[in-house]
Amino acid sequence: MPNSNRHRAYRRFVLVLGGAAVLAGPLMAVAQSGASAPVAPPPLVALPDFSVLVEQAGPAVVNIRTSEKVRVAGAQVDEQMRELLRRFGIPVPPQRRGNPTPNPAPDDDDDDDSPQRRGLGSGFVIGADGYVMTNAHVVDEADEVMVTLTDKREFKAKVVGLDRRTDVAVLKIDAKGLPLLRMGDVTKLKVGEWVMAIGSPFGFDNTVTAGIVSAKARDTGDLLPLIQTDVAINPGNSGGPLLNLRGEVVGINSQIYSQSGGFMGISFAIPIDEAMRVADELRASGRVTRGMLGVYPDDVSKEVAEAIGLGKPQGALISRITPAGPGEKAGVQLGDVITKFDGKTVEKAVDLRRLAAATKPGSKVQLQVFRRGAYKDLTATLEALPDDRVPTTPEADTPAATGAQAWGLTVSELSDAQRKEMKVDGGLKIDTADGPAGRAGLKAGDVILSANNAEVKTIKQFQAALAKVEKGKSLQMLVRRGEVATYVVLKPGKG
């Protein structure tokens, strides 16, 4: 090989394998020419060692197993799919479990031969006297909850309380002197900061994964802004702690975002400060009490803000008002934009929902609304948000047992002002229409005047009319939309 060719080959080899050698020539040239040297890059920082954190925090993390007797025919469903749907933020029926194991082995301790639905999850100790925190969806509707500590001790747990809206639950086991985790300050959590998760993905106890905080205050939660991370979270991690490098809990691992069913680098955790506030209420009373304004807010678009003279897109645009609710009593009108709630700025619709929920029922709050080009102050007295715990019955599929819900309807009574405006003596406004009602073409805002030829002015009258419908028979209603009234026939069935 000629010398020139050998020289070129050597240079190519250096470029691929000798990165340091690539910089040597130019740097030497700069020094020889007398020019100032380039700014040195920042020193390399070693990756964190999580081993000490695992030794300290691991003993306070628990494994949770649940079982539920199948109560209705046809309930043998793909539990893995239910869990994945919930973790993507997609609503699923309430019989879903936390993080199920495929093909569970039979339990020799069962008292009967009823089929069982089983699940797995994680949790962590928040009270040395036996209090454990986990996700609500892990233990929701479970007949039995078993908690296993890292020292292999196993306890039957009592569900002290759960809150589906925030996905937080508190359990109690008969144990003392349990190891505790320190709670961190979420306000000091930074995007890019290292975090670690401990849990039981797919049933593998005390599995550790790590990553960084990808974003804060993601509006994927209904009442809570969530922490986004790239920590690997899989079925079974639900309810486990998210820890910072100081070994402090900053969140509860709850959801993932995925298009394939597997982890794709986006997971969400409930901020621990909010979770502990909910846990304290659950420990005190077994439930969480929230305030309600009785309005349905939407975000304000840029076009709407400019059109109404608001200037910039901010506030909560009121699209619906609960009849005789706190908002209507305070004088809130359709089309109002609520810009402040008790002195706090409302940037978007979710802010109004969260501020109202965080306020105790019975509290008087000041509202600033933007209406027809001017600001107006109103005073509202909040009511209690209805409990999210809905009892289930074996007859839940029959119209006679569940009333309006079986036909896909939720309704509310008309206010005196609405009756006067529509020139009617009674009627029920449709709030949502799904299932049979949706298939029949009914929509939110329609007004039901009669059901099976019985006039309805109150919800009680409507339920009484529905109770007389024989199972499997159709329901005929007189419905008004705008100025036009027509008869609509609803056929029973799911979908």
Binding residues for substrate: 137, 167, 236-238
List the catalytic residues.
137, 167, 238
Measured from the Cβ of residue 18, the count of other Cβ atoms closer than 10 Å reads 11
CB 182 within 8 A of CB 193: no
Spatial separation of the C-alpha atoms in residues 482 and 199, rounded to whole Å? 55
Question: How many angstroms separate the CA atoms of 495 and 437, rounded?
Answer: 10
Note whether 191 and 216 are within 8 A (CB).
yes
Cα–Cα distances in angstroms (integers) from residue 217 to residues 214, 221, 226, 281, 356, in the given order: 10, 9, 5, 23, 18
CA distance 428 to 421: 14
What is the amino acid identity at position 188? Answer: K
In angstroms, the CA 144 to CA 69 distance is 9
Q: Which residue has the tokens 């006297």?
A: 129
Helices then strands, each counted (H, E), the chain: 13, 27
Torsion, Cα of 432, 433, 434, 435 (10° steps): 140
The Cα angle at residue 391 between residues 387 and 393, in degrees rounded to 5? 165
Element (H, E) at 138: helix 136-139
Give the burial string for 452-490 (b: 16+ CB within 10 Å, else e): eeeebbeeebbeebbeebeeeeebebbbbeeeeeeebeb
Dihedral sign, Cα of residue 250, residue 255, residue 257, residue 258:
positive
Instruction: Of 284, 296, 282, give the one whose Cα is nearest residue 167.
Output: 282
Residue 198 exposed, middle or buried by CB count within 10 Å (0-12, 13-18, 19+): buried
Residue numbers belonging to the annotated binding site: 137, 167, 236-238
183 SS3 class: strand
Nearest Cα to Cα of residue 62 among 183, 145, 185, 182: 145
